[in-house]
């Protein structure tokens, strides 16, 4: 996990300089890098395509942008950081006094050395983001303003990676790829999703896992619109965001609140002993709100460390490479792997010898526990599995009711299945 953490941080570092938005070449460049780690199926959806109640917008690309003083010195420079331009800014080439320019400048007075992240996706505007310290140092006078961008018909780009399972029922893992130079939100989520997919591919999971790398909101809506006929295959889901800061883990439950992924995440986090929080669903945040919208009502929760808008660095230049740590990303990855291991093994069983307690010793099941330090716990797990294998209770029900570790219960079920006493 230490090595994985370092590799994930290296991936974040590679992605960090790119200027991403909800469309455009920055998204494509991001997916091209992720594609070095995973085979991706990339989709291009044309501008104007109707997707549920939305329409795919025009594509935005930017080559250069700056504000220069009368001496030609760039006092705000897109080349230094992609955050310096208001996302989706229309082209502009003008000279104007500072008094007029101020209406197009965005700062954070409460954090004067930080640069904010601002966008204007669905209205034609232009602007620059800069630190309050930089703005305060600007003298009155004339300034050259240049944004070399295009906003034209094109495509919305998203990608999928599928880890085949034993069944066609799917688990969705989603992360957004639309933010520019913000390390935690959401480059850490992209990195964790990428390495989670690679880990799952090392075994044959029970479920089929579909990873979505898509721009926030419009990307998830586009995917849902294009896959409405097969959404019933999605049995569980997890949105990954803000996955690399040093805060404690936070799981936001699905709209249902009692979906299997909710129960699994609550169990895994509690059993792990990690500091964590579990919060109720709200219709604000990341793309869990699209997957959980009433018409789809999918069992999709969201895993983060400190949640969106829950830390001062959120959507600012302070969300940089130093703000995320390899250890935190490795920990997030580990929890995802633990949760999906439980999800994959959480079967319902039927007791094939339900009249009285079957003789376990005659089948060698007690003898097999002789050398185990947890022999008594393992024996109780067998008895609990037999007792609750009525086709109605899954192994997670058994673990919770018995107060036993899920792995112990799952091992007991495997042993009983091998002895012909239960069937899935």
CA gap 414, 335 in Å, rounded: 23
Q: Find tokens 């997916």 and name the residue.
A: 31
Q: Is the pLDDT of residue 100 over 90?
A: yes
CA gap 42, 158 in Å, rounded: 6
The per-residue pLDDT for 362 is: 87
The annotation status of 176 as a binding-site residue, yes or no, is no
Q: Find tokens 């080559």 and name the residue.
A: 63
Q: What is the mean pLDDT of the chain?
A: 96
* Contact (Cβ atoms closer than 8 angstroms) between residue 267 and residue 334: no
* Contact (Cβ atoms closer than 8 angstroms) between residue 141 and residue 46: no
Q: Do strands 142-152 and 92-97 pair parallel, antiparallel, or not at all (unpaired)?
A: antiparallel
Three-state DSSP at 216 gives coil
Three-state DSSP at 350 gives strand
230-248 average pLDDT score:
97
The annotation status of 185 as a binding-site residue, yes or no, is yes
Give me the domains of the chain, ranges plus CATH numbers: 2-56+156-345 (3.40.630.10), 59-152 (3.50.30.90), 348-423 (1.10.10.10)
The mean-pLDDT minimum among 232-241, 323-332, 356-365, 369-378 falls in: 369-378
CA gap 1, 335 in Å, rounded: 11
Q: Is the pLDDT of residue 375 over 80?
A: no
The annotation status of 106 as a binding-site residue, yes or no, is no
Q: Is the pLDDT of residue 368 over 80?
A: no
Confidence grade of residue 2 (pLDDT, cut at 50, 70, 90):
confident
182-189 average pLDDT score:
97
The per-residue pLDDT for 366 is: 73
Q: What is the pLDDT of residues 189-231, one digit of tens each?
A: 999 999 999 999 999 999 999 999 999 999 999 999 999 999 9
Burial tier of 294 (Cβ tally within 10 Å: 0-12, 13-18, 19+): exposed
């Amino acid at each position: 996990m230490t090595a994985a953490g370092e590799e994930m941080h290296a991936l974040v570092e590679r992605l960090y300089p790119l200027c991403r938005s909800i469309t455009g070449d920055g998204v494509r460049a991001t997916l091209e890098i992720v594609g070095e780690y995973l085979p991706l199926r990339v989709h291009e959806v044309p501008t104007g395509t109707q997707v549920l109640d939305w329409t795919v917008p025009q594509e935005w690309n930017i080559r250069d942008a700056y504000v220069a003083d009368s001496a030609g010195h760039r006092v705000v420079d897109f080349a230094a950081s992609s955050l310096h331009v208001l996302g989706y800014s229309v082209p502009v080439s003008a000279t104007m006094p500072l008094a007029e320019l101020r209406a197009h400048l965005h700062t954070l007075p409460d954090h004067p050395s930080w640069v904010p992240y601002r966008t204007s996706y669905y209205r034609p505007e232009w602007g620059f983001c800069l630190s309050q310290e930089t703005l305060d140092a600007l003298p009155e006078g004339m300034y050259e303003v240049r944004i070399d961008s295009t906003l034209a018909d094109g495509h919305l780009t998203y990608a999928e990676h599928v880890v085949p399972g034993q069944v066609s029922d799917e688990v969705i893992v989603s992360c957004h790829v639309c933010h520019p130079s913000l390390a935690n939100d959401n480059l850490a989520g992209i990195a964790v999703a990428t390495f989670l997919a690679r880990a799952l591919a090392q075994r044959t999971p029970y479920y089929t896992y579909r990873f979505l790398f898509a721009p926030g909101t419009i990307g998830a809506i586009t995917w849902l619109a294009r896959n409405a006929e097969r959404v019933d295959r999605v049995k569980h889901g997890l949105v990954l965001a803000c996955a690399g800061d040093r805060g404690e883990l936070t799981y936001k439950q699905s709209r249902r609140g009692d979906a299997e992924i909710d129960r699994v995440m609550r169990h895994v986090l509690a059993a792990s002993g990690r500091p964590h929080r579990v919060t109720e669903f709200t219709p604000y945040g990341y793309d869990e709100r699209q997957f959980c919208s009433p018409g789809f009502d999918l069992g999709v929760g969201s895993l983060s460390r400190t949640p969106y808008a829950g830390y001062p660095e959120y959507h600012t230049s302070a969300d940089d490479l130093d703000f995320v740590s390899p250890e935190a990303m490795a920990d997030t990855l580990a929890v995802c792997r633990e949760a999906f291991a439980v999800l994959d093994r959480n079967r319902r069983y039927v007791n094939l010898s339900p009249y009285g307690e079957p003789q376990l010793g005659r089948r060698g099941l007690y003898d097999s526990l002789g050398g185990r330090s947890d022999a008594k716990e393992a024996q109780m797990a067998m008895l609990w599995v037999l007792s609750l294998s009525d086709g109605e209770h899954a192994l997670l029900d058994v673990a919770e009711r018995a107060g036993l570790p899920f792995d112990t219960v799952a091992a007991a079920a495997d042993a009983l299945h091998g002895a012909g006493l239960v069937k899935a």
